[in-house]
Chain A
Amino acid sequence: MSSRRSSRSRQASGSRNITDDQINDLVSKLQQLLPEIRDRRSDKVSAAKVLQETCNYIRSLHREVDDLSERLSELLATTDTAQAAIIRNLLMQ
């Protein structure tokens, strides 16, 4: 794969210094972060699958953040300042 990579004119010239080991290292780190692959405990996960799971995971995290912010916006509209001060104290502890 490295030969194909270096023949691409699109890549920057610095890409030849990047080893496959480095990429594999990063991919394995990514693999440990993903909950599904980590729980399955298999070492034979291909890089493409890891990347696909990463994309799906980031998108699901985005969706969760969106839902949470919707919820927060509704909740913030109903609390008043006294409760906000209490919450701030709770957060500081």
Chain B
Amino acid sequence: MSSSLISNPVTNTDRSRDPSKRRKKKKAQLKQQLEEQNIKWKSPAQQQIYSSKLHQALARVNLGSSGSSAGDAPRRGKAVREAADRVLAVTAKGKTRWSRAILTNRLKLKFRKHKRQRITAAAASPARSKKPRVSVLRLRGKSLPTVQRKVRFLGRLVPGCRKQPVPVILEEAIDYISALEMQVRAMSTLADLLSGSTTPGAGSSSSAPPS
């Protein structure tokens, strides 16, 4: 079972050159690329790649925390979440902005601060921070049109898309949603497998492990 789906490279540089001719070609390419990406995230092969990589990463996380006292459930849960996001970004092969932003965020924080607690706290916030930026917008006298405002808000939810123009945010959001859905599917499958194997006789595990 090989996942040999080739997606077109993003032709962002063509935007500045010949607008009329390139725009029609780019529009067709954009549609095709989005559809391919959508199909890519829904394919079971992709999910298997993600599941196996996730499993390896989680095994490493477990080894790290089992040495110390395993009493901090929130820290372990966050570590799992971070590992899941990182593996998701790696599975995306860095073609989208949000995947690159996730990977560079972790690197930046690791090099800047040495304490692990800061990393887990700060890495969770850029994706979901609700900074009071709306007040700055209102100071301008007129508020932006509704669609603009909502797109900006959406840009804060998707990692790495805060200062991007509107169509970029929409593209990234489309891919990000498909990727998140795949992440949820893979993680729930994994959780079911794990919980199914601990209760004997239930679930889909065929062979009983020798204790």
Contact = CB atoms under 8 A, between A and B. Distances in A.
Interface in B68-105: 70, 73, 76-81, 84-85
Q: What size tier do the contact residues of chain B reach?
A: 35 or more
A8 B145 CA distance: 11
A23 B166 contact: yes
Interface string A11-53: 1101101110011011101100100000000000001100110
Contacts of B61: 76
Given A1-B145, A30-B174, A68 B194 contact: no
Contact of B62 (A1, A68, A76): A76
A55 B187 contact: no
B205 interface: yes
Contacts of A87: 55, 190, 193-194, 197
Given A72-B191, A73-B73, A83-B197, A55 B166 contact: no
A26 B167 contact: yes
Contacts of B59: 76, 84
A54 B151 CA distance: 10
5 contacts: A48-B147, A62-B180, A68-B188, A72-B80, A92-B48
